[in-house]
Amino acid sequence: MIKPAKLLVGSNNRGKLREYAELLRGIHFELTTLSGLGITEEVEESGSNLKQNAIRKATAYAKLSGLTTMADDSGLEVDALGGEPGPLSRRYAGDNVSDKERNDYLLAKLRNIPWEKRTARFRAVIAIATPDGKVKTAEGVCEGIIAFDSKGAGGFGYDPIFYLPELDKRMAELSLAEKNKISHRAKAAQKARRILERLAKQ
């Protein structure tokens, strides 16, 4: 039996790595991580949008590792804030802040915004790069509303304040299995699977 090729998941975010381990289960690649390869370099997310950042990370780590590499960038887009924080989601409240501080900062900015105007979406873009420089991308979106407070102990990032009307739950109240059916990352990963399956046959 031929041993599957390695696929590097270019992230140090443990929440993302846990989700991708489930989302890519059964694919004909052996998943490996930056820490597993001893890669400590951080690729700066200096692009003006999620797609640029995902491509920057995937191509840089593919070159460093010599492996086919998958990297993503994801963000929260709040309509009342003109699409912010978008690509700046992780750094919106400043560097080295906790998820709670990030959520509190966003809620404070929306303090006077009524429920019907708190529409938002999570967006994820996955880039898959081969060591020879070829890149494919996949995108997923999950629509919701920014709640007035935090609730739920699951997930990470903005999940506790992201309300899903069709489920009457916050993203952070979902199990990993439930989240992986409806999340922006899950939708992008479904498309990424098809790209990876084609690569595995080459």
Per-run averaged pLDDT (10 residues), the chain, 202 residues: 82 88 91 94 89 96 96 96 94 92 97 97 97 95 98 93 97 93 94 93 79
Separation between Cα atoms, residue 33 and residue 112, nearest integer Å? 42
Q: Decide if 95 is catalytic.
A: no
Separation between Cα atoms, residue 98 and residue 94, nearest integer Å? 10
CATH number of 5-201: 3.90.950.10
Task: Report in angstroms the alpha-carbon separations of 156 from 2, 44, 50, 88, 184.
Answer: 37, 21, 18, 16, 14
Strand 135-146 vs strand 119-129: parallel, antiparallel, or unpaired? antiparallel
Q: What is the pTM of this model?
A: 0.89
Q: Over the range 5-22, which residues count as b (16 or more CB within 10 Å of their CB) and which as e?
A: ebbbbbbeeebbeebbee
Alpha carbon of residue 78 to chain centroid = 16
pLDDT of 1: 46
Specify whether the CB–CB gap between 172 and 103 falls below 8 A: no
pLDDT of 128: 98
List the one residue out of 34, 121, 110, 117 whose CA is nearest residue 69.
Answer: 34
pLDDT of 2: 59
Of 73, 99, 132, 159, which one is the catalytic site residue? Answer: 73
In the chain, how long is the greatest CA-to-CA distance? 61
